Structure 1
Amino acid sequence: MKKRCIMNQVYKEDAKKYGPKMINEVDDVKDVFLKKLKMNEEHKEVMMLFALDTRNRIIEVFEVFGGESDIKIVTPRKMFKSLVLCNAYRFICVHNHLNGDTCPSAEDKQLAKELQKYGEMLQIELLDFCIVGDNNILSFQNKSLL
């Protein structure tokens, strides 16, 4: 079962392929995004949400953007729809930078703040916002950007 989410459709990937993985630190995130998803090898911009339960286990995986057009079209409303429907307790948002640089843009910082704000209102905690580059990952949580 493999589904993806682009624009108004919700595509979901089978969370089982990531194992009963608990996400507790950036190395766990790095393992999933670089080793299993190989987001650093993508030839298009991709943004994904990992919905987590109360023990930080992956329960659902959603691709909320995948394409060559501007990632700025992604809205928190579209993202939280998927999270609410799967009863997520926490979530991680990750996307790649095609140029390989993990330095966050102003838009990245703005989106992370919006997701954190809306997550607080809906009681779905933003655990981390990550940017994947060339074999590297930047965690907003580790850099105290959240």
Structure 2
Amino acid sequence: MESTNEKTLFEVAEIQLSYKSKVKASLRPKITSSRDCESVLRKYWDDDKIEFVEQFKVLLLNRAHKVIGIYEVSTGTTTHTVADPRLIFVAAIKANACAVILSHNHPSGNLTPSQADIDLTKKMKEAGRFLEVQVLDHVIMTSEAYYSFADEGLL
């Protein structure tokens, strides 16, 4: 009969984190305003989807506010998409980002943030404060214009 005090061996995976960019640091765009942010987002937003379905994307920034990556969090329906804070911050932490800029589009063309947009932004800012990843802005995109929470004093 086996003793209950025997040690059971477990196999576990070793986790290694690393980051290697294919873009030279000198070529990364620097974000100094919402206009800079909009320019980068517009370049990487799929024109065939901006008026069709909602998408949520995050710009990941280093300490100098240079873009180290863009993470597409989700693609949803014509009226909403899911922005899971855990997925957003796991991407930021894996990339060793010091700051993030949240963004999503409104296929309707309406730039007014919904109450859900406002609530999510507050929640993300609080989580970022705890994790020491600054949430600099939340930008709503349409095919013709953009809305910046930071510019409007909502951040």
Aligned position for 1:65: 74
Aligned position for 1:32: 40
Matches within 5 A, 1:6-45: 16=23, 19-34=27-42, 36-38=43-45, 41-42=48-49, 43-45=52-54
Q: 5+ unaligned residues in a row in structure 1: which ranges? A: 1-13
Matches within 5 A, 1:1-146: 16=23, 19-34=27-42, 36-38=43-45, 41-42=48-49, 43-68=52-77, 70-71=80-81, 73-146=82-155
Task: Choose between structure 1 and 2: higher strand proportion.
Answer: 1
Q: 5+ unaligned residues in a row in structure 2: which ranges? A: 1-20
Task: Choose between structure 1 and 2: higher helix proportion.
Answer: 1
Aligned position for 1:7: none
TM-score (norm 2): 0.77
Distance across 1 between alignment mates of 2:114 and 2:150: 16
Deviation at 1:111, TM superposition (A): 0.5
Distance across 2 between alignment mates of 1:15 and 1:99: 36
TM-score (norm 1): 0.81
Does the CA-based 8 Å contact 1:101-1:134 persist in structure 2? no
SS at match of 2:126: helix
Instruction: Using the aligned pairs only, state the percent identity.
Output: 26
**Rg comparison, structure with higher value:** 2
Q: Output the aligned Cα RMSD.
A: 1.8
Task: State how many pairs are aligned.
Answer: 129
Distance across 2 between alignment mates of 1:117 and 1:135: 31
Distance across 2 between alignment mates of 1:41 and 1:23: 25
Output one character per residue of 1:42-66: Cα deviation in whole Å (capped at 9) or x when no partner. Answer: 2221100110000000112100011
Deviation at 1:74, TM superposition (A): 2.3
